[in-house]
Amino acid sequence: MNTVAVSPVLPVYARQDLTFVRGEGATLVDADGRAYVDFLAGIAVVGLGHCHPAPLAAAQAQLERLWHVSNLYWSEPMIALAERLSDRFGGARAFFCNSGAEAVEAGLKYARKATGKPGVVSLTGSFHGRTLGALSVTGQSGKREAFEPLLPHVSFAAPNDADSLAPAITAETGCILLEPVQGEGGVHELDAGFVAETRRLADENGAVLLFDEVQTGVGRTGTFFAWERLGVRPDAVTLAKGLANGLPIGCLLVGDEAPEGFAPGDHASTFGGNPVACAAANAVCDELTDDLLAGVTATGLALTAGLRELPRVREVRGAGLLLGAELGRPASEVVAQCAGRGLLVGTAGESVLRLTPPLVVTAAEVDQALGTLEEVLA
């Protein structure tokens, strides 16, 4: 089905000519009835797999009660989700929105209000979204150039290079922003020592340490928050993607020990905290048991080992089920050839294959994906 020539959708995505009509677990089915093994999961979104019965039932039940209520009032699903996330963080307050970029924007505003300082230090290779503020702190020139000049007072340090981090911080720095694993930037995990140094420098300079866990959070790396793996608690963290297993939601969590910031009227989101999305997110949180998270770690190790045995794979990076395979050829070619064989994967740079399967992917599905990749890369 070729829809490219007739679609009235703005061409901001380089979409493949695939139209999907249903999904279950790690399987998607296209309009022609062909099944695909989904090792992209909406780019780390459907962590529990497509149409998982728990968030599905929660969303359906909530739809029958209440779809929307203004944020002038409270809703039970929003309160419950804030409590769950606060417990996971170890004490925090939540602002709910609809996407990762929106959560990052909220984090930037919070840091400026809390510290009174406009400066942000981010990392080269980072990706924080495509809205104007989030793009301004994204460390990829190719994504920034067409929209410059962007926001001022932003500087970039090299990841895992403490020597470049300290000089980037000035008296006007109010926020240090990082992804525990750079997803879009090639799947590079930050070292625990480097992250600990960012914590020290943030404290020393009165800056908010903000972790962008839009992609790494909600179990993707084998712990609910990726910062748990690193042993460094941020002042604030953003979540989105996997939080409601595919329904639009974003969140900024501000730790109870972080400086005061927002007051009524400082920020808002009309659809933020939507009861249906929050109901689904509550179900997701309930499903992310210790056993499931341990399975993410184990499956990630098995997938990593299998990828390292494949031809033309030079390096495998990442954590849990957020993995990148450095190839000796353009990754987009491999993506297209895999799709032709019924496997969906993505890219994270010119030569990096990105794999973010559902957290519940089975060993048989891992073996099937590795077999397809072996055929394509041979």
pLDDT tens digits, one per residue of 206-255:
999 999 999 999 999 999 999 999 999 999 999 999 999 999 999 999 99
- Work out the pLDDT band at 5, boundaries 50, 70, 90: low
- Residue 7 has a pLDDT of 81
- State percent of the chain over pLDDT 90: 97
Q: Where are the domains of the chain?
A: 20-51+289-377, 54-287
331-345 per-position pLDDT tens digit: 999 999 999 999 999
Q: What is the DSSP string of 213-259?
A: -TTTTTTTTSSSSTHHHHT---SEEEE-GGGGBTB--EEEEEETTSP
Residue 2 has pLDDT above 60, yes or no: no
Q: What's the pLDDT tens digit per position in 57-113?
A: 999 999 999 999 999 999 999 999 999 999 999 999 999 999 999 999 999 999 999
Q: What is the pLDDT of residue 215?
A: 99
| Residue 88: count of CB within 10 angstroms of its CB | 18
CATH class of 54-287: alpha beta
Whole-angstrom distance, CA of residue 120 vs CA of residue 16: 36
CA 206 – CA 112 distance, rounded (Å): 11
pLDDT of residue 328: 84
3, pLDDT greater than 70? no
- CA neighbor of 141 nearest in space, from 127, 153, 152, 157: 127
Which pLDDT value is given to residue 6?
67
The pLDDT value given to residue 147: 98
Of the chain, the end-to-end C-alpha distance in Å amounts to 29
Cα 197 from Cα 201, distance rounded (Å): 6
* 114-151 tens-digit pLDDT: 999 999 999 999 999 999 999 999 999 999 999 999 99
Residues 7-60: pLDDT tens digits?
Answer: 899 999 999 999 999 999 999 999 999 999 999 999 999 999 999 999 999 999
Count Cβ atoms below 10 Å from residue 361 Cβ, excluding itself. Answer: 25
Query: What architecture (CATH level 2) is domain 20-51+289-377?
Result: Alpha-Beta Complex (3.90)
Alpha carbon distance 212, 176 (integer Å) = 10
Average pLDDT, integer, range 291-311? 98
